Amino acid sequence: MKIHLKNGQYVWNPLKTISVGMFLLCLGGAAFAAVSFLEPGTVADAPVSVQKATPTRGTAAVPTPAPTATLPKKKKEDYALTLVNTDHPMQEEPQELVAICDRFCDAPCTLKSDEMRANAQAVDALGEMLRAAQRDGVQDFTVQSAYRGAEYQAQLFDAQVNKLMEQGMSSDRAQREAATTVALPGCSEHETGLAFDLLAQGVNDLWAFEGTPQEQWLNAHCWEYGFILRFPRDKEQSTGIACKPWHFRYVGKSAAREMHESGQCLEKYLAD
C-alpha cells in the first residue's frame, strides 16, 4: 500500500487533512489490533519494547521483563556493567576472554572443564574471592559454567524446552516457562564472560547449592570482590528471571558495593 504523504497538497486542504488523518488513525489502529492479536502480552504490556532487538526464537511466547528499553543510562563505557537480558541482547564481542585455568591454577576450586574461559578481570576477581573464602575456612567450590557462546546457549534453551514438552507442556508454554530459567540465545550474560555459575563440590544439582556454606559465604561477601548475586528471589519482578542462587556476575568493586548498599539489581542500578 502506498501513501504519498510528501506531495504537500493535503496540507492546504483542511477537509483532506482531516480525512487523511482519520485514515491514518484507522490504519494504525487496525495494525495495532492485528499485532496485539498475533502477539498477546508483547505489544499490549510493553509498548516500548516493540523496537527492541528480537530474540531468535519464541518471540511471541516469551514473557517480556519490565520495560528497560532506555537502559542503561550510566557507565556505558564500562564493560563490567554490560547489561544483557531479554530486552538487551548481547551487542558486542566478549572482551578479554582468557582460559580460567591459565589464570589461577592455585585457586581453591574445581573447574568443570579446563576449556572454560571468561573475562580476564572477572577471572582475577573470582580467584581473589575464592582465596578469601578459603581464608575464612570455606572452600571446595566448583566453577560449573563461565563464558558461553550463543550457539551453546541455544542448545541449553532447546534442551529445557524439550524437557518441559516431555512433561506435557505445549510448545508455546514450554518456551515461556523455559525463558524464566534459561536465557534465550543472545540474552544470557554468560555470553559476556562476566558471569559464573558456582557450586560446591559434591553438589551436582544447581538447587542443592542453596543453603550450603559456600552459597552462604558468597551471599555475604561476593560484593567485596566485585560480584553480585544476579538473580535474587526478591528481584524476580525486575530481572524477569527466576532466582538462581548459583549465578554470580562480575560488575566491578564500586558498582557491587553500591548495589549491595542500595539493594538494587543491575537493571535498577543502571537505570538510576
**Which residue ranges make up the site for Zn ion (CB under 5 A)?**
197, 247
| Shortest CB 80 distance to Zn ion, Å | 16
Cell of 200: 560446591
| Shortest CB 90 distance to Zn ion, Å | 14
Sorted by sequence, the CB contacts under 8 Å of residue 124 that are 6+ apart come out as: 103, 104
**What Cα–Cα distance (Å) separates residue 140 from each residue in 36, 72, 213, 220?**
51, 36, 10, 17
Measured from the CB atom, the residue of 17 and 113 that comes closer to Zn ion is 113
Dihedral sign for Cα atoms in the order 180, 203, 81, 73: positive
| Shortest CB 189 distance to Zn ion, Å | 8
Residue from 190, 182, 192, 189 nearest 159 by CA: 182
| Shortest CB 236 distance to Zn ion, Å | 15
SS3 58: coil
Cell of 64: 517480556
Residues 160/175, Cβ–Cβ less than 8 Å: no
**What Cα–Cα distance (Å) separates residue 69 from each residue in 81, 238, 264, 268, 270?**
16, 13, 18, 12, 12
DSSP 8-state code for residue 162: H
Q: Name the residue whose CB lies closest to Zn ion.
A: 247
Which residue's entry shows cell 574461559? Answer: 117
Beta strands 109-111 and 141-145, pairing class: parallel
Measured from the CB atom, the residue of 176 and 247 that comes closer to Zn ion is 247
Backbone angle region of 11, left / alpha / beta, with phi > 0 → left and psi within -120 to 50 → alpha: alpha
Measured from the CB atom, the residue of 117 and 247 that comes closer to Zn ion is 247
| Shortest CB 249 distance to Zn ion, Å | 8
Measured from the CB atom, the residue of 43 and 185 that comes closer to Zn ion is 185
Measured from the CB atom, the residue of 197 and 267 that comes closer to Zn ion is 197
Measured from the CB atom, the residue of 43 and 195 that comes closer to Zn ion is 195
| Shortest CB 190 distance to Zn ion, Å | 6
Measured from the CB atom, the residue of 147 and 225 that comes closer to Zn ion is 147
